[in-house]
């Protein structure tokens, strides 16, 4: 399931404007008036299906892990592991080894040099 990417008006024209979504509010704004040739507005019709909401693009449910004990009880067919940002490299490597042993999918595996792992 592909999500639609909504962009801010004129962000392609001016470098100072980021592409992140902002609703157009001007009185004569072409995008707000939904004129032909302008990007679409955010609307409820673009919402994803109920059973697909909150899932990783791979279709798996993300489970946030802080230590090795958190890996217990994770179903590799339905769930994927994401290591928390506050976890250091030493514990990250321990989680990586245990996740590989259990056959779990790791969404943000640390990039290792050849002599590590």
**What are the sequence ranges of the domains in the chain?**
1-47, 50-102
Burial class for 2, CB neighbours closer than 10 Å (0-12, 13-18, 19+):
exposed
pLDDT in tens, 1-35: 567 889 999 999 999 999 999 999 999 999 999 99
N-to-C CA span, the chain = 34
pLDDT in tens, 44-72: 999 888 988 889 988 999 999 999 999 99
Tell me what the mean pLDDT of segment 36-41 comes to: 95
In this prediction the pTM is 0.67
Gap between the Cα atoms of 84 and 81, Å rounded: 10
Q: Are the beta carbons of 66 and 89 closer than 8 angstroms?
A: no
Q: Are the beta carbons of 92 and 83 closer than 8 angstroms?
A: yes
């Amino acid at each position: 399931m592909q999500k639609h990417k909504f962009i801010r008006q004129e962000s392609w024209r001016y470098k100072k404007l980021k592409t992140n979504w902002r609703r157009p509010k001007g009185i004569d704004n072409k995008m707000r008036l939904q004129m032909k040739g302008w990007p679409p507005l955010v609307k409820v019709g673009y919402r994803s299906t109920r059973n697909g909401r909150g899932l990783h693009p791979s279709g798996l449910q993300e489970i946030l892990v802080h230590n090795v004990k958190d890996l217990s009880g994770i179903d590799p067919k339905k769930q994927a592991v994401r290591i928390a940002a506050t976890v250091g490299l030493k514990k990250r490597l321990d989680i990586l080894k245990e996740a590989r042993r259990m056959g779990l999918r790791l969404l943000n595996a640390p990039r290792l040099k050849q002599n590590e792992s």
